[in-house]
Amino acid sequence: MAPELQKETLLSTLGIEVLEASKDRVVARMAVGPKVHQPFGLLHGGASLALAETVVSIGAWHNVDQEKEFAVGLEINANHIRAVRSGTVTATATPIHVGRRTQVWEARIVDDAGKVVCVSRCTLGTVPR
């Protein structure tokens, strides 16, 4: 994703760094520290969801006609599996279904040891620009 599209967005606020992006796979990472903690010093579930929605949205965007369409989130869910206090988390998104008007993606977020932190599924719609 072009850096200018990330300027002054939630990605820059949370420090989300996109490492890889294609029609079939998107990978991004985020440092875990006070700015993404909940009050008890753990990674906030909302920050995990923001990371998950970021990677699935980028993947969906790669699968639409970018001059004529947008991909927008319709529904997201998540299972928070493991707590994280520090280090980084890495999200990998892969498509489950890419249709003409809807897409369904899964995002798996892991910690530095590769242990699953969160699993999320997101449905996106394709709308005209």
Question: How much is the pLDDT for 9?
Answer: 87
Q: Which residue type occupies 4?
A: E
Q: Is the pLDDT of residue 61 over 80?
A: yes
pLDDT of residue 21: 96
Q: Is the pLDDT of residue 28 over 60?
A: yes
Span 66-85, average pLDDT: 97
Burial degree of 106 (CB within 10 A; 0-12, 13-18, 19+) = middle
Provide the pLDDT for residue 1.
53
Is the pLDDT at 10 greater than 70? The verdict is: yes
53 catalytic per annotation: yes
Q: What's the confidence (pLDDT) of residue 5?
A: 58
**Higher-confidence position of 4 and 68:** 68
Q: Give residue limits of the domains in the chain.
A: 3-128
Overall average pLDDT of the 110-122 stretch: 98
The fold for domain 3-128 equals Thiol Ester Dehydrase; Chain A (3.10.129)
**Residue 28: partners with Cβ closer than 8 Å, 6 or more residues away:** 16, 17, 18, 19, 51, 54, 55, 58, 90, 91
| Whether the model pTM is above 0.85 | yes
Given the residues 53, 69, 75, 106, the one annotated as active site: 53
Q: In the predicted model, what is the mean pLDDT of the chain? A: 94
